[in-house]
């Protein structure tokens, strides 16, 4: 069960991060640009893991 619920929680967390990045992009563009690149890397890893399964 934990292995099955983990990806959905990660996706929800990433979606919340994307929404927060979009809303506060102009106020925190410098900080969020670095966070955004890290989030994109995490999203790529998750997508790759799904494709491998």
User: How far is residue 53 from each of residues 10, 18, 22, 25, 31, measured CA to CA in Å?
Assistant: 17, 25, 31, 34, 34
State how far the Cα of 48 lies from the Cα of 37, in Å rounded to an integer: 17
Q: What pLDDT tens digit does each residue of the chain (53 aa) get?
A: 455 566 778 778 878 877 776 666 556 666 666 777 888 888 888 888 887 76
- Domain that includes residue 38, residue range: 2-52
pTM: 0.36
Number of domains in the chain: 1
Per-residue model confidence (pLDDT) at position 37: 81
């Amino acid at each position: 069960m934990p292995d099955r619920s983990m990806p959905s929680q990660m996706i929800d967390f990433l979606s919340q991060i994307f929404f927060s990045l979009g809303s506060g992009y102009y106020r925190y563009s410098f900080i969020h640009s670095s966070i955004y690149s890290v989030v994109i890397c995490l999203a790529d890893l998750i997508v790759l893991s799904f494709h491998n399964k």
